[in-house]
Structure 1
Amino acid sequence: MAQNDIGIDLGTTTIIIAQEGKGVVLNQPSVVAVDTRKNSVLEVGDKALAMVGRTPNYISATFPLKDGVISDHTMTRELICRFVNQVYSSHMVKPRVAVCVPAAITGIESDAVVEAVVAAGARQVYLIDEPIAAALGSGVDITIPDGRMIIDIGGGTTDIAVLSLGGKVKATSVRVAGNHYDDEILKHVRAKFNIAIGQRTAEELKKHVACCPQKADFNETMEIKGRSLLTGLPQRINVSTSDLYEPVMMLSEQIGVAAHQVLEKTPPELAGDIYRNGVMLTGGGAQLHGLPEYLSQELKVEVTVSPDPVNCVALGTAMSLSLGDKLETGFTDATPRIGRRH
């Protein structure tokens, strides 16, 4: 891979940029703060995230990616341009850029990704499916005739794929992922305790308290602060692991069903490989307590978490540019806009 090649994990909640040999060179929230009076961008990334819920009404902090795809083209272009310029300073040679996308992305959605990356200064753009990038970044050799199953749980989507000989054999994408856990926890706390909490508090509960009940030895409690729906005044309460079983299991079951359906359609020889190799969990959502145990129980195979679940997609995306000839499907030369399958 040339030194000016970069890989981008264009996530719903986080954008991670990696370079082969250097690892992750940028990790920033996918958020933009805009002054609506002047229609100008104030901040992006960490600085914009710090403004969420704490700004005057004329400052809008928005996430321009939704469920793994672009919902606001202009703001996504702004994000990518600023972040690429942070990590790539040469004005002489434009970089080759690989971007990971959900396995079920449509042609229109992939065109929007390509346009945004070209606007950031890329000379060539490649698209790689998230499960393939996740496998590469986790150290899985998918170029050999040996079935591997990846479940990549991001912020907006969960991508599930059976891989072998450098390509996808079976795959699906479901719009149930980390952000949906946050939303359901927020709604559940509101209904159960009559207290309104913010999105960031819900995320903290997911990370530190939430757990699938299959992990019986995990039991945590966290004090949270919010606004009472009964009095309208500030209130603090303690939320325990058992309090959150309902929303956690509702969404985990949907991921389990989708994974089960992919396995049902997998050819018998590859299914045997998966039984021997197990299933690899990747993405930020893979860190949910008890999820590997739950999925292992549902799929009847061992489920393990990637050594670096958060960064593995970006790392694999960066690696893909030097492995393109070995990737049979799921890796597209999208330059200029019409893809070319390897």
Structure 2
Amino acid sequence: MGIFGKQQIGIDLGTSTTIVYIARKGIALHQPSIVAIDKESNEIVAYGKEASKLVGRTSDRYEMIYPIRNGVIANFSMTKKMLGYFITQALNTSLSKPEVVISAPSQISKVERKAIIDAIKSLGINRAMIVEEAFVAALGADMAIEEARGKMIVDIGGGTTDIATLSYGEIVDSLTLSAASNNMNDEIQSQVRQEHDLMIGNYTAETLKIVIGEALFDPNEEDHLVVKGRHVVTGVPSEAKISSKTVAKAVDIVINQIIMGMKQVLELTPPELSADIMETGIVLTGGGSLLKHLPDRIQKEIGVPVRRANLPIDCVAMGAGRMFDELDRQSVVIERSLR
């Protein structure tokens, strides 16, 4: 135990963003999951926000590493270094040895689970545990998952969308999709290139999605945004006026995949729990859930009430941090049942 006492933290190790939550304190860190290295010296020059500032704006000397791909660790060495840096930043000390709960996609393999645990423990972490992303998202969204009634959570992150039904504090059925927020950006880039012969970066695509993107396009309320990029034919800097119709057409591809995945999970769900979900509704979490009118679109197509969690981006990290209280509660319940 360090001089600051035992720290309990929850980590949402996301494809796009890493969020650290300190139990009973709140969100301590919110940083892009990116590392910048100097290719000549092979040394790390920046993490997180500082590294993201270099994307697309530096010479070939620097390489941007994205350690997490589609919700899975793709580069263990960089992930360990990035996590070590972020945890130290969040706790403001390298002396404390915290207990960590980290989220992972619902269908992660045993090999991947062990690899993540090993990566965490190699940082000198006192105790580490992995919990399914959908489960901690539900905890962070304040869903009463311990009840016998069926609940449904859909966490739309950067690299994956986790869909799950829960009852009695357990995941009943689940599905992890690669269709997520980053795919929306990819589709926007592709659509802009196809319609305007303009190549735009991920930041510009994200801006289009946030400013004029929506899940229910209304031709009577069409909006536009002028963006800059590189002309496909001439190769010189250019700009184009992008319509909300273009953005809606792009994100619609991903939305349809998510809705199809939700229907697949609902088809597997026992009738009794399906009846509960009709009453309790579906809760959306994750940054991708912030797309305008997305709850309305899903409700329209599935026929079940849909709402967005109060703090959708932070739900997974908050839920991971609250797992310590949840484990204490379960221990009390088990102890009482044995008396």
Give the shorter-chain TM-score range: over 0.9
Matched, 1:32 2:14: no
CA drift at 1:209: 1.4
- Alpha-carbon distance in structure 1 between the residues aligned to 2:185 and 2:287: 13
Other-structure match for 1:332: none
Aligned residues: 327
Other-structure match for 1:155: 158
1:113 to 1:217, Cα distance in 2 relative to 1, 3 A: farther
Given that 2:228 and 2:237 are in contact with CA atoms closer than 8 Å, whether structure 1 keeps it comes out as yes
Other-structure match for 2:304: 301
Other-structure match for 1:82: 85
Other-structure match for 1:97: 100
Other-structure match for 1:22: 25
- Alpha-carbon distance in structure 1 between the residues aligned to 2:218 and 2:316: 27
Q: For 2:9, which of 6, 20, 23 is the aligned residue?
A: 6
Matched, 1:191 2:194: yes
Given that 1:102 and 1:129 are in contact with CA atoms closer than 8 Å, whether structure 2 keeps it comes out as yes
CA drift at 1:21: 1.8
Per-residue CA distance 1:43-84 (angstroms, 9 max, x = gap): 000000000011111210121100001001111111100011
Other-structure match for 1:126: 129
In terms of fraction of residues, the more helix-rich structure is 2
CA drift at 1:138: 0.9
CA drift at 1:215: 6.1
Other-structure match for 1:42: 45
- Two-structure CA RMSD over aligned residues (Å): 1.7
CA drift at 1:20: 2.1
1:117-266 counterparts in 2 under 5 A? 117-213=120-216, 219-266=222-269
Q: Secondary structure at the match of 2:175?
A: strand
- Alpha-carbon distance in structure 2 between the residues aligned to 1:327 and 1:105: 24
- Alpha-carbon distance in structure 2 between the residues aligned to 1:21 and 1:313: 15
Matched, 1:69 2:72: yes
1:298 to 1:86, Cα distance in 2 relative to 1, 3 A: same
- Alpha-carbon distance in structure 1 between the residues aligned to 2:51 and 2:87: 17
- Alpha-carbon distance in structure 2 between the residues aligned to 1:143 and 1:327: 9
CA drift at 1:321: 1.7
**Which letter maps to 1:145?**
A
1:295 to 1:104, Cα distance in 2 relative to 1, 3 A: same
CA drift at 1:218: 5.5
- Alpha-carbon distance in structure 1 between the residues aligned to 2:136 and 2:152: 13
- Alpha-carbon distance in structure 2 between the residues aligned to 1:82 and 1:218: 45
Q: For 1:58, which of 54, 58, 61 is the aligned residue?
A: 61
- Alpha-carbon distance in structure 1 between the residues aligned to 2:220 and 2:307: 18
**Which letter maps to 1:61?**
M
Other-structure match for 2:335: none
- Structure 2 stretches of 5 or more lacking a match? 332-339
Given that 2:219 and 2:245 are in contact with CA atoms closer than 8 Å, whether structure 1 keeps it comes out as no
Given that 2:216 and 2:294 are in contact with CA atoms closer than 8 Å, whether structure 1 keeps it comes out as no
- Structure 1 stretches of 5 or more lacking a match? 329-342
Given that 1:6 and 1:97 are in contact with CA atoms closer than 8 Å, whether structure 2 keeps it comes out as yes
1:151 to 1:216, Cα distance in 2 relative to 1, 3 A: farther
Q: Secondary structure at the match of 1:21?
A: coil
1:6 to 1:176, Cα distance in 2 relative to 1, 3 A: same
- Alpha-carbon distance in structure 2 between the residues aligned to 1:169 and 1:326: 20
TM-score (norm 2): 0.92
CA drift at 1:327: 6.5
Per-residue CA distance 1:12-65 (angstroms, 9 max, x = gap): 000000012211000000000001111110000000000001111121012110
**Which letter maps to 1:129?**
E
Other-structure match for 2:327: 324
**Which letter maps to 1:138?**
A
**Which letter maps to 2:327?**
G
**Which letter maps to 1:5?**
Q
Given that 1:144 and 1:166 are in contact with CA atoms closer than 8 Å, whether structure 2 keeps it comes out as yes
Given that 1:208 and 1:220 are in contact with CA atoms closer than 8 Å, whether structure 2 keeps it comes out as no
Given that 2:225 and 2:243 are in contact with CA atoms closer than 8 Å, whether structure 1 keeps it comes out as yes
Higher deviation after alignment, 116-125 or 16-25: 116-125
- Alpha-carbon distance in structure 2 between the residues aligned to 1:315 and 1:101: 14
